[in-house]
Structure 1
């Protein structure tokens, strides 16, 4: 079985004055080889943007259609996601245009951190990424959660 890979790793990028940012080439390669596309669906999660390959977004939609959520909070969250969803295509220079409304919602301005997380890409304002992840005690965190994930086996 051929394993096509997942999105992983992080890199620092700059968003230009028109809202364009380069997607790391290793992520573009996965989009082409695994998904056979160069399009993404962007949604805001408040602190950051999540960029789903169209195929992965379609799987979410299919799950919501197959088993519509009954919890009012989940319905409200899904409605919020759809209200922020934007289709985007990677241009010839390997960039995407992040719409102004998404940049405003998340506080993206110039420096951002682009992170691969399995089947999606996250785009964080650098200051929010640093506040959330750069000063965590990884050893303590691992010790706290390791019993829940014995398959990590580190």
Structure 2
């Protein structure tokens, strides 16, 4: 399971080290990197990416405006990545730019995928959504049982 919050640095060549705890939960070395819905990147193990992209493609027709929008923003920029021997993933410049990645980054494990945020952008997002988070917790809390 991919969980946790990790601070990492983007090196001069645009690479991020995926923490070993996360790497050990990723089957194989192939991942897919794409834009997230928020100003972040999503990094999927290959099997989970295939499930998501197939679902997006099958659920919507290319004749539907909103379907094309999702396909263009999520599927089109997706790139297959391999972890190198040191557990690093190369972030292409276009995706760095899309997420506003600078030097300091945050990796979030969201069970089936990872989110990669610029640290300042994530801190801003976190602060701006505090009230919304509290409302969501109240609203959805009754649906969760454990």
Task: Mark yes or no: TM-score above 0.5.
Answer: yes
1:85 maps to 78
Deviation at 1:84, TM superposition (A): 1.3
Task: Give the gaps of 5 or more residues in structure 1.
Answer: 1-5
* Equivalent residue for 1:21, pick from 16, 36, 39: 16
The answer to whether the 8 A contact 1:146-1:152 is kept is: no
2:101 maps to 108
Q: Which runs of 4+ in 1 moved over 4 A?
A: 134-138
Q: Could you say what secondary structure the match of 1:84 adopts?
A: coil
Q: TM-score, normalised by structure 1?
A: 0.81
Structure 2 distance, partners of 1:143, 1:100, is 36
Q: TM-score, normalised by structure 2?
A: 0.85
How many residues in Structure 1 have an aligned counterpart in Structure 2? Answer: 144
The answer to whether the 8 A contact 1:13-1:22 is kept is: yes
* Equivalent residue for 1:40, pick from 25, 31, 35: 31
Q: CA RMSD in A?
A: 2.3
Task: Give the gaps of 5 or more residues in structure 2.
Answer: none
